[in-house]
Amino acid sequence: MKAVIYTGKEIRLKNVPVPEISEFQVLIKVKAVGICGTDLAIIKGHLPVKPPIILGHEFAGEVIKVGKSVDPSWENKRVTSEINTNIDFTCFYCQKKLYTQCISRKAIGIDVDGALAEYIAVEDYLLHEIPDCLTFEEATFIEPLAAAYQTFEMMPLDPSDKIMAIFGLGKLGLLILQVAKSKGLEIIAVDGSEKKLELARNFNADHCINRHEEKSLPDKIKELTNDLGADVVVDATGNPNVLNDIIASCRTRGKVHVKSTHGLATPINLTDIVVRELTLYSSRCGPFDKAIEGLNSGQIKVKKLISAVFNLEDIEQAISSLEKSRDNVKTIIKL
Ligand SMILES: [Zn+2]
């Protein structure tokens, strides 16, 4: 089968054997894969992985073969998969049902071969059926949307949390925006791309700030919030250099939530966090059932987030156009 391999230096389209499935796995014919900031971080060498590895972890496809111990009714189902595989179901975290933090977990497309290939083998416990109303392309948003819901699972809001500033309007920022609006929050959306700000307006962001037009983002956000700062500030930029602006834009006793996984270390103003008693949150993979429900009910819309669709053969072109364009929200590889 054709697969996109990260060699440690670059990505290459290669022919590799179709994966064998264990008795607990299914074989999925991949139909669509989203390219994620994490994939770019790996390709740039910022996020260490053990090459050679097939990239890709936001995907959807069709089950074409089931292992001996798998419920045969999965066969022919349209599915997506969670990314944390190799779960032991026995460790400290598994006993607390925190499977995405299992000590033996491996992430698909990061630690083990991923979905930028014609076929992928995954364990049956990772599968979720895709509702009929979603195309395979739209279904690739289930994984990142689950991560957007996880923002609020990890950071319960209190009644004084009314205004959320979101820095970075890529796929994750625009999904968090939609989930936050469904919770009644007032949104200040920040990005440098007019196209992304336009999308944020479409999703009913209350204030849109083009960062290129402001001398100081914290000052601008204070101007919009009675000189206080936002109650909650979310980092979805993928750029560690803006973290101090993000901290400074948060009101005293407010919440700062970091979503970026760029793989880079950065100095942050811890003193400001301590003196103003800010709470620092973070979150990663989330509840697929909530994401599927959000899409199925029509509350969350993803069609407009698809910026470009490429064939697997054109992966290099897809990556290079993604790196060049600041307006790109989501590139999908269709198979
Ligand atoms: Zn475990």
Asked if 11 and 99 sit in the same domain, the reply is yes
Asked if 136 and 7 sit in the same domain, the reply is yes
Would you state the pLDDT for residue 99? 94
Q: Regarding predicted confidence, which is higher, 326 or 82?
A: 82
Q: What mean pLDDT do residues 289-302 have?
A: 96
Q: Is the pLDDT confidence value at 313 over 80?
A: yes
Would you state the pLDDT for residue 46? 86
How far apart are the C-alpha atoms of 155 and 239, rounded to whole Å? 22
CA 174 – ligand 1 centroid, Å: 32
Segments forming the whole domain that contains residue 51: 2-140+302-334
Would you state the pLDDT for residue 64? 98
pLDDT tens-place string over residues 226-239:
999 999 999 999 88
CATH of the domain at 34: 3.90.180.10
Asked if 135 and 14 sit in the same domain, the reply is yes
pLDDT band at 22 (very low <50, low <70, confident <90, very high): very high
CB atoms within 10 A of CB 277: 9
CA 234 – ligand 1 centroid, Å: 29
Q: Is the pLDDT confidence value at 321 over 90?
A: no
Would you say residue 294 lies in a domain? Answer: no
Asked if 65 and 154 sit in the same domain, the reply is no
pLDDT band at 117 (very low <50, low <70, confident <90, very high): very high
Q: Is the pLDDT confidence value at 331 over 80?
A: yes
Would you state the pLDDT for residue 246? 97
CA 97 – ligand 1 centroid, Å: 9
pLDDT band at 260 (very low <50, low <70, confident <90, very high): confident
Among all chains, which residue has been given the structure tokens 């066969």? 75
Would you say residue 291 lies in a domain? Answer: no
Q: Is the pLDDT confidence value at 120 over 80?
A: yes
Would you say residue 297 lies in a domain? Answer: no
Asked if 15 and 127 sit in the same domain, the reply is yes
Q: Is the pLDDT confidence value at 274 over 90?
A: yes
Q: What mean pLDDT do residues 13-28 have?
A: 97
Asked if 109 and 25 sit in the same domain, the reply is yes
CA 150 – ligand 1 centroid, Å: 19
Q: What mean pLDDT do residues 314-329 have?
A: 89
pLDDT tens-place string over residues 134-166:
999 999 999 999 999 999 999 999 999 999 999
Asked if 277 and 163 sit in the same domain, the reply is yes
| Percent of the chain residues past pLDDT 70, beyond the cut | 100
Q: What mean pLDDT do residues 302-314 have?
A: 95
Asked if 61 and 92 sit in the same domain, the reply is yes
Q: What is the DSSP letter of 130?
A: P
The letter for the amino acid at 255 is K
Would you state the pLDDT for residue 37? 83
Q: Is the pLDDT confidence value at 262 over 90?
A: no
Q: Is the pLDDT confidence value at 124 over 90?
A: yes
Asked if 328 and 278 sit in the same domain, the reply is no
Q: Is the pLDDT confidence value at 263 over 80?
A: no
Number of domains in the chain: 2
Q: What mean pLDDT do residues 116-120 have?
A: 98
Would you state the pLDDT for residue 73? 98
Q: Are 83 and 282 in contact (CB under 8 A)?
A: no
Would you say residue 289 lies in a domain? Answer: no
CA 110 – ligand 1 centroid, Å: 18
CA 122 – ligand 1 centroid, Å: 17
Would you say residue 127 lies in a domain? Answer: yes
Q: Is the pLDDT confidence value at 261 over 90?
A: no
Would you say residue 115 lies in a domain? Answer: yes
CA 102 – ligand 1 centroid, Å: 4
Asked if 152 and 260 sit in the same domain, the reply is yes
CA 91 – ligand 1 centroid, Å: 4
How far apart are the C-alpha atoms of 105 and 87, rounded to whole Å? 5
Q: What's the distance, Cα to Cα, between the start and end of the chain in Å?
A: 12
| Percent of the chain residues past pLDDT 90, beyond the cut | 91
Asked if 167 and 237 sit in the same domain, the reply is yes
Would you state the pLDDT for residue 89? 97
Q: Are 334 and 139 in contact (CB under 8 A)?
A: no
Would you say residue 295 lies in a domain? Answer: no
Would you state the pLDDT for residue 184? 96
Asked if 88 and 34 sit in the same domain, the reply is yes
CA 43 – ligand 1 centroid, Å: 29
CA 80 – ligand 1 centroid, Å: 22
pLDDT tens-place string over residues 172-225:
999 999 999 999 999 999 999 999 999 999 999 999 999 999 999 999 999 999
User: What's CA 48's distance to the chain center, in Å?
Assistant: 18
CATH of the domain at 245: 3.40.50.720
* Average pLDDT of every residue of the chain: 95
Would you say residue 296 lies in a domain? Answer: no
CA 144 – ligand 1 centroid, Å: 22
* Predicted model pTM: 0.94
